[in-house]
Amino acid sequence: MASLRQKISASKFVLVLSGAGISAESGIPTFRGKEGLWKNHRAEDLASPAAFQRDPKLVWAWYRWRRALIASKKTNAAHEGLVRLEARMPRYQLITQNVDGFHGLAGSRKMIELHGNIWRMRCTSCGEKIENHDPDLPELPRCLKCEALLRPDIVWFGEGINANDLEQSIQSCRACDLMLVIGTSAVVQPAASFASIAKEAGAYLVEINPVPSLSGLSDVTLVGKAAEIVPKIVD
């Protein structure tokens, strides 16, 4: 811990990649694993353009359920620890695969929400984006401008990541000297490749996960929960 803290303090550019595991202790289920969201739902039935075309009410029902769940929970010590780290580092970037908005809520600023944000909706016709925290969304929310169907502003399976976000993420992987990979199973591309891009470019790689996913790649693996470990290494 002490030598890792020193390493972080001496770093010029810390990059953090987070996944569902960082929100686990807030009470938000992860996607994979025994209690994961994908255990009872097939990703293709709920998080794909084809699913939305087939049954938009079902897809919206799932997102309304997740919005209500997230709204009832709070950020945890890991989200909050990263805010303190950002304030201290000369250069810092956070890339999250999470759509819960918790990093922003905690106060993270230099942040790329790679898979979108559950509190944003996008018009399927005119592309208008709307931030919305309404707990009582209609079954099928509609665009105020053109009345077409709105969809969650989330990157679904089979869709591409925003080109600027992807470019900035890859640049950060190449430029950082220390990367913290927290709470991701590292199976969904392109984020799954970010750690190896950073490592190949010479970064020191640290993974925090109770069930590590980067074995063989990371320089240090801290086996445990993000909310317990992050404060210990950043403070």
Q: Give the Cα separation of 85 and 106 in Å (integer).
A: 12
Asked if residue 101 binds ligand OAD (CB under 6 A), the reply is no
Asked if residue 24 binds ligand OAD (CB under 6 A), the reply is yes
- Residues 36-65 close enough to bind ligand OAD by CB under 6 A: 36, 43, 47
Q: Which is nearer to ligand OAD, 170 or 188 (CB)?
A: 188
- Residue from 14, 17, 25, 94 that binds ligand OAD (CB under 6 A)? 25
CB of 14 to ligand OAD, least distance (A): 18
Q: Give the Cα separation of 223 and 211 in Å (integer).
A: 7
* Of 62-70, 129-137, 167-175, 209-217: span binding ligand OAD (CB under 6 A): 209-217
The helix or strand, by DSSP H or E, that contains position 175, with its residue range, turns out to be helix 163-175
Asked if residue 97 binds ligand OAD (CB under 6 A), the reply is yes
- Residues 138-197 close enough to bind ligand OAD by CB under 6 A: 155, 183-185, 188
CB-based contact 73:26 (threshold 8 Å): yes
Q: Give the Cα separation of 11 and 47 in Å (integer).
A: 38
Please tell me the number of Cα atoms within 13 Å of 7 on its side-chain side. Answer: 17
Asked if residue 21 binds ligand OAD (CB under 6 A), the reply is yes
Q: What is the CA radius of gyration of the chain?
A: 18
Q: Give the Cα separation of 61 and 41 in Å (integer).
A: 13
Catalytic residues: 115
Q: Which is nearer to ligand OAD, 107 or 212 (CB)?
A: 212
Asked if residue 19 binds ligand OAD (CB under 6 A), the reply is yes
CB-based burial, 98-119: b 16+ in 10 Å, e otherwise? bbbbbbbebebeebbbbbbbbb
Q: Give the Cα separation of 16 and 30 in Å (integer).
A: 18
Number of residues that bind ligand OAD (CB under 6 A): 26
CB of 172 to ligand OAD, least distance (A): 18
DSSP code of residue 207: E
Kindly report the length of the chain: 235
CB of 76 to ligand OAD, least distance (A): 9
- Residue from 28, 181, 226, 233 that binds ligand OAD (CB under 6 A)? 226
CB of 84 to ligand OAD, least distance (A): 18
- Residue from 11, 15, 30, 178 that binds ligand OAD (CB under 6 A)? 30
Distance of CA 86 to the CA centre of its chain: 16
Task: Give the β-pairing of 150-154 and 116-123.
Answer: antiparallel
**Interface ranges with ligand OAD (CB under 6 A):** 19-21, 24-25, 30-33, 36, 43, 47, 97, 115, 155, 183-185, 188, 208-211, 213, 225-226
